[in-house]
Amino acid sequence: MRGLIPDRALIHGALRENVAILIEDARIAGVVPADALPAHVDRQRLFGTLVPGFIDTQVNGGGGVLFNDSPTVEGIAAIGAAHRRFGTTGFLPTLISDDLDVIRRAVTAVDTAIEAGVPGVLGIHIEGPFLNIERKGIHSGEKIRPLDAEGMAVLAGLKRGRTLVTLAPERVSTAQIEALVTAGIVVAAGHSNASHAQAKAAVAAGMRGVTHLFNAMSPLGSREPGMVGASLDSDELVCGLIVDGHHVSPDTLRLALRCKPASGFMLVTDAMPSVGSNASSFLLQGRRITVRDGVCRSDDGTLAGSHLDMATAVRNAVSMLGLDLATAVQMASANPAALMGLAESHGRIATGLAADLVLLDDAGQASATWIGGRQRSELPALVA
């Protein structure tokens, strides 16, 4: 058994000093006063703030790798390693709209990666192709298609871990949403032109997430609240926020945070291959994406995911949105864990939960991570 003794730790929503986190095997064995550690426990002094590891449910790529291009175990491992240096200890490799055979390969790769113990892989996020072409954003219109029986079978193909599916609720039936939920899939709305009524019907059918709130969805209107209005009006929905100062105005996000409790929001990156890489451009389904001033755009100016990492997202939530660190970390750990049905195993520093942790320095940078109790402080260098 080991005892981690940080300057402070985030325990039950509050920063506490004079605590030690006991780790045995891959789990947290207890939280005790630092001066009450048994003599036989190996002590490790940590300088900084220890918080739950970040869980990112929308990771398109990292370390120069795009999941759509490399739906393999090796690709997943490279993406995970790139994001781990920024405090992400759990993630969903995310596939944007593509052909069904590519989705099948991606599902198989995630299954194999989890079985092989690739660090941090919690499942898969399949974002499209069952979207509204009117709100496609950077997704290829050629890949968008109706949801049929074959598509339903592909979405339900993961044997290990969790599956998150982003779809346009107005392009599927409530019966299909109910069937996906019954199969254990977490359904989220995104790239949608849904009316408020259509979105609420999807919530009644079991939809529980919203992918990148405000982006690529019907806006809040005076007489038609749209997908945005339904997202903010539904306590059942957890809304993903890309807090990079580019996707959504911080003023707009602050207004959103006044509409419902912090538990209704989670931080996501929507990260592209440039995260954890020195590359200034990459290809996305044949289109050149350029990274300039921290923003990923296609040649026509369309936003194409982000150059955001989770540690920066947490810092931005504090500096741009005025949140305290405890709330920002909750939105990066406990809230995504709850959405994915992992609240009893991930997302908090508590006895019995996975020992997935990140140590933040005084500037909010990740200086060390632990996944399953194994320290991974040897943070990898940026990929050229």
Which residues participate in the annotated binding site for substrate?
138, 215-216, 223, 247, 303-305
Rounded (5°) CA angle 214-219-220: 110
Q: Is 324 one of the catalytic residues?
A: no
Annotated binding site for Zn(2+): 127, 191, 212
**What does the alpha-carbon distance between residue 66 and residue 76 come to, in Å, rounded to a whole number?**
9
**What does the alpha-carbon distance between residue 198 and residue 231 come to, in Å, rounded to a whole number?**
12
Q: Which of 56, 111, 244, 270 is catalytic?
A: 270
**What does the alpha-carbon distance between residue 269 and residue 310 come to, in Å, rounded to a whole number?**
6
For the sheet with 162-167, list strands across it.
Answer: 54-59, 88-96, 123-127, 162-167, 186-189, 209-210, 238-241, 265-267
Evaluate whether 208 touches 188 at the Cβ level (below 8 Å): yes
Annotated binding site: 127, 138, 191, 212, 215-216, 223, 247, 303-305
**What does the alpha-carbon distance between residue 326 and residue 380 come to, in Å, rounded to a whole number?**
27
Evaluate whether 191 touches 136 at the Cβ level (below 8 Å): yes
Name the residues annotated as catalytic: 270
